[in-house]
Amino acid sequence: MTELKKKEAECLEVPEERGNATPPGCKRTWDKLLCWPEADAGETLALPCPNILFQFMKEPAGIVKRNCTKKGWSDTFPPYDIACPVEDEIPLEEQSYFSTIKIIYTVGYSVSITSLIIAVTVLIAFRRLRCPRNYIHVQLFFTFILKAIAIFIKDAVLFQEEDIDHCSFSTTECKISVVFCHYFMMTNFMWLLVEALYLNCLLLSSLSHGRRYFWWLVLFGWGFPTLFTLIWILAKFYFEDTACWDVNQGSPYWWLIKGPIIISVGVNFVLFINIIRILLKKLDPRQINFNNSSQYRRLSRSTLLLIPLFGTHYIVFNFLPEYTSLGVRLYLELCIGSFQGFIVAVLYCFLNQEVQTEIGRRWHGNRYGLMPVWRRTRWTVPSSSGVKMTTSVC
Cα-flanking dihedrals φ and ψ of residue 318, to 5°?
A: -70, -15
348 CB-near residues (< 8 Å, 6+ apart): 119, 137, 140, 141, 302, 306
pLDDT score of 8: 77
Tell me if residue 295 falls in helix, strand or coil: helix
- Work out the burial of residue 232: count CB atoms within 10 Å of its CB; fewer than 13 is exposed, 13-18 middle, 19 or more buried: buried
pLDDT band at 228, cuts 50/70/90? very high
pLDDT band at 13, cuts 50/70/90? confident
Region 146-161 average pLDDT: 88
Q: Report d(CA 161, CA 164) in Å as an integer.
A: 6
Of 118-132, 191-205, 276-290, where does mean pLDDT reach its minimum? Answer: 276-290
Contact 335/105 with Cβ under 8 angstroms?
yes
Rg (CA), the chain: 29
Contact 272/196 with Cβ under 8 angstroms?
yes
Higher-confidence residue: 197 or 298? 197
pTM > 0.85: no
pLDDT score of 270: 86
What is the average pLDDT value for the chain, to the nearest integer? 75
pLDDT score of 391: 32
pLDDT score of 112: 94
Would you give the DSSP letter of residue 206? -
Region 252-258 average pLDDT: 89
CA distances from 95 to 56, 90, 151, 322, 333 (A): 17, 6, 20, 21, 19
pLDDT band at 315, cuts 50/70/90? low
Neighbours of 6 (CB within 10 A): 11
Region 326-334 average pLDDT: 71
Scanning the chain, the segments in alpha helix (DSSP H) are 2-12, 80-83, 92-125, 132-158, 172-204, 207-210, 214-239, 255-282, 294-309, 312-317, 326-330, 337-338, 340-345, 353-364
Helix 255-282 to helix 214-239 angle, to the nearest 10 degrees? 160
Region 24-29 average pLDDT: 80
Neighbours of 114 (CB within 10 A): 14
pLDDT score of 164: 61
The verdict on whether omega for the bond into residue 78 sits within 30 degrees of 0, i.e. cis, is yes
Give tens-digit pLDDT for 73-104: 888 888 877 877 776 555 666 667 778 888 88
Region 301-307 average pLDDT: 62
Give tens-digit pLDDT for 48-61: 887 777 656 556 66
The enclosing H or E element of 63 equals strand 63-69
- Pairing mode, strands 378-382 and 63-69: unpaired
Q: Report d(CA 351, CA 272) in Å as an integer.
A: 21
Contacts made by residues 237-242, CB under 8 angstroms, sequence distance 24+: 240/2, 240/5, 242/1, 242/2, 242/5, 242/170
